[in-house]
Each structure stands twice: as C-alpha cells, then as structure tokens.
Amino acid sequence: GENVEQHPSTLSVQEGDSAVIKCTYSDSASNYFPWYKQELGKRPQLIIDIRSNVGEKKDQRIAVTLNKTAKHFSLHITETQPEDSAVYFCAARATGGGNKLTFGTGTQLKVEL
Amino acid sequence: KAGVTQTPRYLIKTRGQQVTLSCSPISGHRSVSWYQQTPGQGLQFLFEYFSETQRNKGNFPGRFSGRQFSNSRSEMNVSTLELGDSALYLCASSLGTVPLEQYFGPGTRLTVT
C-alpha cells in the first residue's frame, strides 16, 4: 500500500522567514496530494492541494510543488506569521483507492517572534 | 453551508464496552471517511462510505465497523474496547467524486479506561 514520509518532524523559523516541508510517497498511482493544518485541539483544516497533472499551485503565502518522477511534493510558506504555528500534514490518495488518504507523520511548525 | 459535525465530542468508556460515534457530512456530500488519530500512529484511515456502501477499508480489526444512512450520515462502532482504542476519531466529508477535497469534523475524543 501507499506510504508517505514527511520531513522534518519539527521546524522552527523566525517570523517573516520561509518554511518548507517535504513529503515523499511510494505509490506511483497516487494522483491527489492535500495538505492539512491542525492547530492544537482543533480539526485538520485543508489549506492547499495539488493534482498529479499540475506541477505547482499557489494560494497567497502558501504553495505546493509536485515532482511525479521523484515522487516528492513540498509545502512552501513564505513570510511566516505566528498564526502559522501548527502541525502540518501531507497526504496522498491513490487512483482507485476511493477517498482513502494516507497521511505523513506531521511537522510541528513554530514561528518565533 | 454547515460544516461537518460529530457527536459526541467526548466519551469515556471502560474496557470491554462498545461505542457508537456519529458523523453528519456537509450537505450534498455523499462520502464519509473515518480516521483514527493518535500521538504514536498519527492519522490512520479506518474506512470510507459512499452512497451507503463501504468503498474502502483500512487495516483495523473487525471490532471497528461502520455504516452510512440514506441521508449520508455515518456511524462507526467499536466493540470490545481496548485501552489502545483511546484516540481522536475524525470523520471527513467529501462529494465522493471529483473534486476530491475532504473536510474534517471536530472529532470525537474517546478515552478507554
């Protein structure tokens, strides 16, 4: 089955700096890659996603890139703010797998003032 | 539209008991997926229901079961509870077809003593 690895497990940046979180997946049939942000005690919130026919997608300060050949995808957050502090999860959905998402282990992002 | 709702929000049960959790998806969504979230194992897929049929199942024992009703509301049941079943149980709602976005409910925090 699908396996998703996520790095780093913790990331500390200064306010205003950029943050990058990387994920790799194992199933070449995966075609949909969402990213979720989970604040303490709250539900995971979908913040951006990318489909396998697209290499990059941006939404204001966040962007996601996908390299299908290498089976890598990354989340980029620019101009980080304290409210970006949370746990971020990447996930992958394989073709034919219904809506099953396989999640990475999460990255605890801390944005320091 | 109202978001995904889950009831109850908190539960305390003892080993050997059974429990039923409920999830109401976003209006118009036909797919409900269930995930277990624990600090040690992260987010793990339990099963997905689409139009009252189980479409996919994760690697959990048969003590975990679910169903979906004609109004798309879903329930999951855990029988013969074990201490290791203590977790946050999240459901995610989606259309079930393209687009693929899944939106999570607030979760049910289950504690087994």
pLDDT digits (tens, 9 = 90+) for B55-111: 989 999 999 999 999 999 999 999 999 999 999 999 999 997 766 899 999 999 999
First vs last C-alpha separation in chain B = 37
Spacing of C-alpha A70 from chain mean position: 16
Residue with structure tokens 């005690």?
Answer: A41
Spacing of C-alpha B54 from chain mean position: 12
How many Å lie between the alpha carbon of A65 and the closest alpha carbon of chain B?
Answer: 18
pLDDT in tens, chain A (113 residues): 889 999 999 999 999 999 999 999 999 989 999 999 999 999 999 999 999 888 999 999 999 999 999 999 999 999 999 999 999 999 999 877 688 999 999 999 999 99
SS3 B87: strand
Q: Is B31 within 8 Å of A98 when comparing Cβ atoms?
A: yes
Chain B residue set in contact with A, beta carbons under 8 Å: 31, 33, 35, 42-45, 48, 50, 55-56, 58, 90, 92, 94, 96, 100-107
What tokens were used for B72?
């798309």
Task: Report whether B105 contacts B4 (CB < 8 A).
Answer: yes
